[in-house]
């Protein structure tokens, strides 16, 4: 059985304010919602971790495989009207946020599309919600606020005004980050960078 709710995904529509994005809630099938919390690696420090440094459980691997599938690639290509044929992907996991996280940024130019899938049980909202912004200097200029609750998904096109950030928050905040990138070299560099960061964090916390 699929982990993703494909019927919901394939009915998605593109939003264009403040930049191109798709936002959906409930994209994970109910059975997987019950299973995934125990599949997420125990990440207690902030930052992004490669799948080799934070190995996911088998059901979460199935979810990632569905995101990596030709079916999902074709869907994203159709929604964003972009040719993703042969484009590399980068997958990382975040398990916790620090107070310093969430500053306003656009994502690096190496990225074509950025996807965030939140995997938090019993998320009550409030602080730590992602905001898609109209103003690069104002976190209150949000066109939309994205819940970090289980099954909340946002995909956006990286551009020079794809400003986003979240309010200050410290604590568990689980998110799967998935990107289509411009080159294999970018994917390799990203993997090495996240692995090096994870190694340093393990040494510091030892």
Phi, psi dihedral angles at 101 (to 5 degrees): -75, 165
Q: Model pTM?
A: 0.89
Confidence (pLDDT) at 197:
41
Distance of CA 121 to the CA centre of its chain: 16
CATH number of the domain bearing residue 24: 2.60.120.620
Range of 81's domain?
6-205
Return the closest-CA partner of residue 184 out of 51, 87, 84: 87
Answer yes or no: is 112 within a domain: yes
For the chain, which ranges sit under pLDDT 50?
Answer: 187-206
Report whether 115 contacts 142 (CB < 8 A).
Answer: no
Answer yes or no: is 1 within a domain: no
pLDDT over 70, % of the chain: 89
Before 18, cis peptide (omega within 30)?
yes
Q: In the chain, how many domains are there?
A: 1
Report whether 60 contacts 183 (CB < 8 A).
Answer: no
The b/e string for 68-82 (b: 16+ C-beta within 10 A; e otherwise) is: eeeebbebbbebbee
Answer yes or no: is 89 within a domain: yes
Answer yes or no: is 62 within a domain: yes
Secondary structure (3-state) at 111: strand
- What six digits make up the tokens of 92? 């990382």
Answer yes or no: is 79 within a domain: yes
Q: For 14-25, what is each residue's pLDDT tens digit?
A: 999 999 999 999
Confidence (pLDDT) at 125:
75
């Amino acid at each position: 059985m699929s982990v993703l709710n494909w019927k919901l995904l394939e009915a998605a529509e593109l939003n264009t304010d403040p930049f191109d994005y798709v936002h959906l809630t409930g994209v994970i099938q109910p059975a997987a919602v019950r299973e995934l919390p125990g599949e997420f690696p125990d990440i207690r420090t902030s930052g992004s971790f490669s799948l080799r440094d934070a190995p996911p459980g088998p059901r979460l691997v199935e979810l990632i495989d569905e995101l990596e599938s030709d079916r999902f690639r074709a869907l994203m290509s159709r929604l964003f009207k972009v040719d993703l044929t042969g484009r590399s992907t980068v997958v990382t996991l975040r398990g916790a946020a620090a107070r310093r996280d969430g500053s306003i940024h656009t994502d690096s130019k190496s990225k074509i599309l950025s996807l965030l899938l939140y995997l938090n049980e019993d998320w009550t909202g409030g602080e730590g919600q992602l905001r898609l912004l109209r103003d690069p200097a104002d976190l209150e200029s949000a066109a939309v606020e994205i819940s970090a609750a289980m099954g909340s998904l946002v995909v956006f096109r990286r551009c020079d005004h794809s400003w986003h950030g979240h309010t200050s928050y410290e604590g568990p905040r689980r998110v799967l980050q998935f990107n289509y990138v411009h080159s294999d070299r970018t994917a390799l560099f990203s993997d090495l960078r996240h692995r090096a960061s994870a190694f340093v964090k393990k040494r510091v916390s030892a």
